[in-house]
Structure 1
Amino acid sequence: MLIAFSVAPSGAASDPAAAASAVAESADGSVHDAVAAAVQIVRASGLPHRTTSMFTEVEGEWDEVFAVVKAATEAVLPFGSRVSLVLKADIRPGRTGEIDGKVERLERALEERGELGA
Structure 2
Amino acid sequence: MIVAFSVSPSGERPAEAGNPPSSAAADSVHEAVAAAVKIVRESGLPNRTSSMFTEIEGEWDEVMDVVKRATEAVGRYGSRVSLVLKADIRPGHTGEIEGKVERLEQALAQHSD
TM-score computed with the length of structure 1 as normaliser: 0.87
Q: Which ranges in structure 1 are unaligned for 5 or more consecutive residues? A: none
State whether residues 9 and 24 of structure 2, in contact with CA within 8 Å, keep that contact through their aligned partners in structure 1.
no
Partner Cα distance (2:15, 2:94) in 1: 39
Q: Give the structure with the higher percent helix.
A: 1
Q: Deviations over 1:27-77 (max 9, x none)?
A: xx5210000000000011000000000000000000000000000000001
Structure 2 matches for 1:41-60, cutoff 5 A? Answer: 41-60=39-58
Structure 2 matches for 1:55-94, cutoff 5 A? Answer: 55-94=53-92
Quote the residue 1:11 is aligned against.
Answer: 11
Partner Cα distance (1:70, 1:83) in 2: 11
State whether residues 11 and 23 of structure 2, in contact with CA within 8 Å, keep that contact through their aligned partners in structure 1.
no
Q: Give the structure with the higher percent strand.
A: 2
Identify the match of residue 96 of structure 1 among 81, 94, 97.
Answer: 94
Partner Cα distance (2:24, 2:64) in 1: 31
Q: How far apart are 1:20 and its partner, in Å?
A: 7.1
Structure 1 moving runs of 4+ over 4 Å: 19-25
Q: Which ranges in structure 2 are unaligned for 5 or more consecutive residues? A: none
TM-aligned CA distance change 1:20 to 1:109, over 3 Å: farther
Letter in 2 for 1:40: K
Partner Cα distance (1:20, 1:86) in 2: 29
Partner Cα distance (1:15, 1:78) in 2: 10
Letter in 2 for 1:9: P
